[in-house]
Amino acid sequence: MPIAAILGVVQLLDEAWGLWWRPAGLLGISYAVQWVGHLIEGNDMGEVVLIKKWLGRPYVAIAPRYNKTESASAERS
């Protein structure tokens, strides 16, 4: 996101109003890549975790394969 913000500021300073789609597209693409990465890992994104916490819904903050407390309790059983 910082790159999209920097690009947006530079374009506004250069008065390149017709190129608004570049920072918007960069922001959208980077968010999509983040979503795919979290989907592959098996955990929820930070924004989704926050919203699920507020709503009282279950969420996955740490991917199951990296959660040491869950794997330790499974080994003891």
**pLDDT computed for residue 51 by the predictor:** 92
Is the confidence at residue 72, as pLDDT, over 70? no
Q: Which amino acid does the sequence have at 9? A: V
- Residue 1: the pLDDT is 57
When comparing pLDDT for 30 and 77, which is higher?
A: 30
Report which of residues 75 and 38 the model is more confident about: 38
Residue-wise pLDDT for 35-61, tens only, equals 999 888 888 888 888 999 999 999 888
Please report the pLDDT score of residue 56 as a whole number. 92
| Tokens coding 4 | 């999209």
- Residues 38, 54: contact at Cβ < 8 Å? no
